[in-house]
Structure 1
Amino acid sequence: MFSTVVPYKNQHYSELKKDCLEHKKLFEDPEFPCTNSSLYYRTPLPGRVEWKRPAVIPNWKEQEWDPKHPEYYAGIFHFQFWIFGEWTDVVVDDRLPTINGKLIYCHSKSNNEFWSALLEKAYAKLSGCYESLNGGNTGDAVVDFSGAVNEPISLESGPYRTDPKAREKLFSDLMTVYDRGGIISCSITASPHERELRLPNGLVKGHAYSVTAVRRVRLGHGLLAFFKNDTITLIRMRNPWGKHEWNGAWSDSSEEWQKVGSMERSKMGVTVEDDGEFWMFFDDWCQNFTDTDVCRLMNTSVLSVQKSWCEGVCFSSWTKHTEPLRNRCGGCMNHRQTFLQNPQYVLDLQDEDELLVCLQQRDMKIHRPRGQGENLTIGFAIFKVELNRKYRMHDLITQQNVATSTYINARSVFLRKVLPKGRYVIIPSTFRPEVLGDFMLRVYTDKDCGCRELDLDKPRVRCWSSFVGYPQMVTQIYVHGAEGLENQDSNGGADPYVIISCESSSVQSRIQNDTRDPLFDVRAIFYRKKPNKPVTIQVWNSNAVKDQFMGQVVLPATLKDTAEPQKVSLKKKGGQTAEEMPGKISIRVVTSRELTAM
């Protein structure tokens, strides 16, 4: 879906380079000129800025520099960023801002290496100017560079410092993400006056560290270590400054390394150098860092030895309209009267599944020079709905809210949740109503979930509706469970399921194995053309050869239903006068003549 590359500001790299070579000139980018507007929008730099071209370009094969044919060099580079669902190709010239002959912004430890400065220039161009990059989010940058899905995790407010099981699960998750090519970073929250403050333990506050390894390390020496199988959880980080390291347990020269055999240390690449890279005990990492960004590179390839995901991507906007049914900016669930006016997306989980949801708004940094550029406060809620729902939700009371993300003024919001089989609706929203903006919703599941937007509020009126009929009322049936069902096997159990039918439509629940008191937790909704036809709920026992009828309930489902939970005795087939059968079923029935009531 994202294979097409879009040229930023319609600048085509190959055409621009060809033109420069034909005219024997070096490229000068008119879209990002060497002026103050490309540097800052508010805070001037302390010194005279000179834009200089690098005299030497490293990695010449990759950078298209041929020392034997310097005439092939045109002073133009291009970088691709993943911007709001599409790869964007950004062209820059090689003029870099300096003060006193030194690069002002990003630079390498090697004085003749400039790729990082050129990459930063392309990113600054995409953001409006260099100053717009200040205070950026590490996870957002990784997403822009890779198209990954970012999960921000708070180590400070989460359970990881006090709960060993939660900590162990987090370690396993991080190890899996890292082994699959994911990108992990971490930091220590800092107030404005604490930024870049070095702590006594060697760590720096307000500074992003990249995670370069996550490993279970074997303790001991020789064969004894192999048979004893004692391990410790370690994590390795790198300070991008290339210096200043953790000086606690498992730091480069700490005595803890004596517990690890020389072969294991060599395999881990342990060195005693102030190169900015160091190991930490995972428990210490959780205690000392406050935040981590876990960026997953989602493998959606069908032919893959690694775990692959099914991806669903939807684009839309929060837009305003005076007519409630057409309004799409209803705010969060605090605003119950308008929340369901937001865009709605339905998906089906075929089995119990781990659902990953990422809601992302457009990046706003480019608007900072105009005094704007702040992220909207966004989030989403997930509801378990009727198995046959085709139309938008209009009532919160009759639906089950199974998950709600945090609402935060971040560019993206992430939620990971294991949910049972069923149909679900995701409702993304801004925190306050009548706030406008664009968004992208990404959904990942083990099996294809068919994620799609619910556009219609009720069945369409067709030209043939006058002949075949149009719904007169809507009924929602919720079957909670049953109790005291008849024995169906020699062990005194049963494998029951329910079928809810109305007119020509029906919905079937999952089979509940080996129980006479099943919990069905199933909903169905029917748009009824013939209100006089009842709703039938039948209980069946699943068998290998032929399923066994266990009883039914026939409901008129009229406007008189109170919507209160009720227990009804099962009966044999044959209408209201039929004999009772063992067991009762717990249900709730809601009926309305207003088709947009539910």
Structure 2
Amino acid sequence: MRRLHGSYEALRGGTTCEAMEDFTGGVSEIYDLTKAPPNLLNIMLKAYQRGSLMGSSLEPDPNEVEARCDNGLVRGHAYSVTCVKYCEIETPRMSGKVPLVRVRNPWGNEAEWTGAWSDQSPEWQFIPPEEKEEIGLTFEHDGEFWMSFKDFMSNFTMLEMTNLNPDSLDDEDVTGGVSHKWEMSVFEGAWIRGSTAGGCRNFIDTFWHNPQYRITLTDVDDDDDDNKCTVIVALMQKNRRSQRKLGLECLTIGFAIYHLRDPDNVPRPLDLSFFKYTASVARSPSFINTREVSCRFKLPPGTYCIIPSTFEPNEEGEFILRVFSEKSNEME
């Protein structure tokens, strides 16, 4: 990494997600579990099926580094999520499925969760033997433990997820438990002063000068009652770390998504008139000066236009736009 970016100084201030992206080429998402979307369990189940890397953490204790809680968890400490699944459960009164999450403390020792579904906890007597065998259940001081999804949500405060592109999954050692792959489209572009650096929609007269990318979504997600398509859009600015020594920090970037109701009868590229009278249907959460801005959306099938931009016009830089979807899409 130091050789790639020129100096250790260029690496300062990175995030766990940036590191996971650099090693895998994936696209990251960060979830604040105190404000998690209602379908997060489904997101995690599908992420696990696709081999996504997941990490979680608890809010740190301001008075103590890596403080241990009474339940065995450690504050301000990075855990990895190694499995998410529904397990069959049989009790004298009921049978059904319970969502469980397997978490690993990288210390690899006895510092483990001690609540429900922890090692040797009584809940495991209600799981059939064949189910225990299938999930490879062991009770060892190895740092790995199970907990209910509900307990996971109420104890952890942050979830970081890196979704791997299809090329990351060629190694059979990595793909052992991977049953699905993301579809991905990648485009490289640039904002050029006086040409394609139009700024955000606040600058309506030049906004339409920005690069424009069309995506057509046709097939809805599996197991989706809303009949919508999951899309993860990630806008990454290139080479900003290596340019720190020139005094160039990250640009403030974001993107907007527009629905094209009649794609064959709108101008190419979309012009000033289109943006004056058409509102976006989705956008990045904010314009921010980080290396990458990404967000997950659920959109009805149709044709859309993605507009990546800097906040101010005439700011120059190169970027990569990546779009992940559950089903194949057409992009141009």
CA distance in structure 2 between the aligned counterparts of 1:138 and 1:264, rounded to whole angstroms: 33
Aligned residue identity for 1:238: R
What does the per-residue CA deviation read over 1:423-472, in whole Å, with 9 as the maximum and x for residues that have no partner? 32111122344433221011244344132xxxxxxxxxxxxxxxxxxxxx
Aligned residue identity for 1:330: G
* Corresponding residue for residue 254 of structure 1: 121
* Corresponding residue for residue 378 of structure 1: 253
What does the per-residue CA deviation read over 1:184-233, in whole Å, with 9 as the maximum and x for residues that have no partner? 11223448766533333332333321111112122237xx79xx542211
What does the per-residue CA deviation read over 1:291-319, in whole Å, with 9 as the maximum and x for residues that have no partner? 21222223389xxx955555322111222
The 1:332/1:128 distance shift into structure 2, 3 A limit, reads same
Aligned residue identity for 1:236: R
* Corresponding residue for residue 30 of structure 2: 152
Alignment of 1:506-517 (within 5 A): none
Match for residue 362 of structure 1 among 224, 227, 238: 238
State the Cα distance separating 1:418 from its structure 2 match.
3.3
1:347 aligns with 2:200: no
* Corresponding residue for residue 152 of structure 2: 285
Match for residue 98 of structure 2 among 193, 211, 232: 232
The 1:132/1:234 distance shift into structure 2, 3 A limit, reads farther
CA distance in structure 2 between the aligned counterparts of 1:219 and 1:409, rounded to whole angstroms: 47
* Corresponding residue for residue 112 of structure 2: 245
1:427 aligns with 2:303: no
Larger Rg: 1
CA distance in structure 1 between the aligned counterparts of 2:319 and 2:104, rounded to whole angstroms: 34
Aligned residue identity for 1:362: K
Contact 1:299 1:307 in 2 (8 A): no
1:329 aligns with 2:187: no
Contact 1:379 1:405 in 2 (8 A): yes
The 1:363/1:238 distance shift into structure 2, 3 A limit, reads farther
Alignment of 1:92-491 (within 5 A): 123-129=1-7, 133=11, 135-159=13-37, 166=38, 169-190=39-60, 196-220=66-90, 229-243=95-109, 244-299=111-166, 307=180, 310-321=183-194, 326=195, 328-350=196-218, 353-362=229-238, 364-366=240-242, 370=245, 374-385=249-260, 386-388=262-264, 389=266, 390-395=268-273, 396-407=275-286, 408-445=288-325, 446-451=327-332
Residue 285 of structure 1 aligns to a residue in which SS? helix
Contact 2:217 2:301 in 1 (8 A): yes
What does the per-residue CA deviation read over 1:387-415, in whole Å, with 9 as the maximum and x for residues that have no partner? 12322331323223111111233332223
Contact 1:300 1:308 in 2 (8 A): no
Contact 2:164 2:182 in 1 (8 A): no
CA distance in structure 2 between the aligned counterparts of 1:371 and 1:195, rounded to whole angstroms: 36
CA distance in structure 2 between the aligned counterparts of 1:339 and 1:238, rounded to whole angstroms: 46
State the Cα distance separating 1:133 from its structure 2 match.
4.9
Residue 449 of structure 1 aligns to a residue in which SS? strand
Residue 178 of structure 1 aligns to a residue in which SS? helix
Unaligned runs of 5+ in 1: 1-122, 160-165, 452-598
The 1:220/1:308 distance shift into structure 2, 3 A limit, reads closer
* Corresponding residue for residue 107 of structure 1: none
Aligned residue identity for 2:152: W
Contact 2:204 2:272 in 1 (8 A): no
With the length of structure 1 as denominator, give the TM-score of the two structures.
Answer: 0.46
State the Cα distance separating 1:354 from its structure 2 match.
3.5
Residue 397 of structure 1 aligns to a residue in which SS? helix
CA distance in structure 2 between the aligned counterparts of 1:136 and 1:145, rounded to whole angstroms: 13
Deviates more, 1:308-317 or 1:231-240: 308-317
State the Cα distance separating 1:175 from its structure 2 match.
1.8
Unaligned runs of 5+ in 2: 169-177, 221-228
Residue 153 of structure 1 aligns to a residue in which SS? strand
State the Cα distance separating 1:365 from its structure 2 match.
4.0
Residue 341 of structure 1 aligns to a residue in which SS? coil
What does the per-residue CA deviation read over 1:136-195, in whole Å, with 9 as the maximum and x for residues that have no partner? 322222222222222222212234xxxxxx2xx322331222123221112234487665
After TM superposition, which residue ranges in structure 1, 4 or more long, deviate above 6 angstroms?
A: none
Contact 1:355 1:444 in 2 (8 A): yes
Residue 332 of structure 1 aligns to a residue in which SS? coil
The 1:170/1:131 distance shift into structure 2, 3 A limit, reads same
CA distance in structure 2 between the aligned counterparts of 1:329 and 1:191, rounded to whole angstroms: 44
What does the per-residue CA deviation read over 1:355-387, in whole Å, with 9 as the maximum and x for residues that have no partner? 33221222644456x496754332210012341
Residue 207 of structure 1 aligns to a residue in which SS? coil
Contact 1:300 1:311 in 2 (8 A): no
Residue 283 of structure 1 aligns to a residue in which SS? helix
CA distance in structure 1 between the aligned counterparts of 2:53 and 2:215, rounded to whole angstroms: 28
State the Cα distance separating 1:257 from its structure 2 match.
2.7
The higher relative CO (CA closer than 8 Å, separation ≥ 6) is in 2
The 1:276/1:131 distance shift into structure 2, 3 A limit, reads farther
RMSD between aligned residues: 3.2
CA distance in structure 2 between the aligned counterparts of 1:342 and 1:254, rounded to whole angstroms: 57
Percent identity, aligned pairs only, is 40
The 1:130/1:259 distance shift into structure 2, 3 A limit, reads farther
Aligned length: 308
Contact 1:351 1:420 in 2 (8 A): no
Residue 215 of structure 1 aligns to a residue in which SS? strand
The 1:136/1:238 distance shift into structure 2, 3 A limit, reads farther
State the Cα distance separating 1:263 from its structure 2 match.
4.5
